[in-house]
Amino acid sequence: MPELPEVETARSLIAGEALHRRIADVDDSDTFVCRPHSPGELRAALTGRELTRARRRGKTMWCETSEGGPDLGIHLGMGGRIVVTAADGRAAEVGGPRPRKAEWDRFTLTFTDGGSLVLFDKRRLGRVRLNPDIDALGPDAAEVTRAEFRDLITRGSVAVKARLLDQSKIAGVGNLLADEILWRAKVSPAARTGSLRRAEADRLYRALRAALDSAIARGGVHTGEVIAARRPGGTCPRCGAEMRHGTVGGRSTWWCSREQAVQPGTWPQ
Contact residues toward DNA (CB under 7 A) are: 1-3, 6, 32, 58-59, 75, 77-79, 122-125, 136, 155-159, 162, 165, 167, 174-176, 193, 221-222, 249-252, 268-269
97 with 27: CB under 8 angstroms? no
Q: For residues 188 and 193, which CB has a smaller minimum distance to DNA in the complex?
A: 193
Question: At a CB cut-off of 8 Å and minimum separation 6, what does 30 contact?
Answer: 106, 107, 124
Q: How far is the CB of 111 from DNA (least distance, A)?
A: 26
**Other CB atoms within 10 Å distance of the CB of residue 123:** 11
Least distance (Å) between residue 33 CB and DNA: 9
Distance in Å, CB of 14 to DNA, minimum: 18
Minimum distance from residue 170 beta carbon to DNA (Å): 11
Cβ density class 128-145: b for 16+ within 10 Å, e for less: bbbebeeeebbbbbbebe
Which of 3, 50 has the CB closer to DNA?
3
Distance CA 222, CA 153 (A): 24
**Could you give the C-alpha distances from 58 to 29, 61, 222, 243, in angstroms and in order?**
26, 8, 17, 28
CB of 63 to DNA, least distance (A): 18
Nearer to DNA among residue 1 and residue 15 (C-beta): 1
Between 78 and 91, name the residue whose CB sits nearer to DNA. Answer: 78
| 46 vs 33: CA distance, rounded Å | 17
Decide whether 27 or 48 has the Cβ nearer to DNA: 27
